[in-house]
Amino acid sequence: MPRRREARPLAEYYGMVRHTADADSVWSAKALVTAVRSLLRYLHIDGRIPASLTSAVPSVAGWRLDCLPRGLPPQEISALLALRTCGLRRAGGTGQC
């Protein structure tokens, strides 16, 4: 008969994922989370746990601010605002721009 292991606290799991993300990379932490979800899915299908716990495993945030769009120059912002007010005037039937 296989030896039964004790359940580990959820905080220990979070610590392991955070340590992996800090020590290795965000991608390593994402791979670890994927592996844990796969294990939980298997354990549920095999009947070792009564319910699927895959949704209990949180995702790893892996975004960086360098991929945010750059700001528009003031001239382009003015042009966009002028188009918006022009469209509002047309929709209201007050004439053309």
* pLDDT tens readout for residues 37-75: 998 899 999 999 898 888 888 888 776 666 666 788 888
Q: Where are the alpha helices (DSSP H) in the chain?
A: 10-23, 26-45, 74-92
Q: Quick check: pTM over 0.85?
A: no
1: in domain: no
Cβ(21)–Cβ(29) under 8 Å? yes
**Domain presence at residue 31:** yes
Alpha-carbon separation of residue 49 from 7, 39, 45, 57, 77 (angstroms) = 12, 11, 8, 15, 56
Task: Please state the domain count of the chain.
Answer: 1
Nearest to 54 by CA among 65, 45, 63, 64: 45
Q: Is 26 within a domain?
A: yes
More confident call, 25 vs 46:
46
What is the residue range of 29's domain? 10-61+72-92
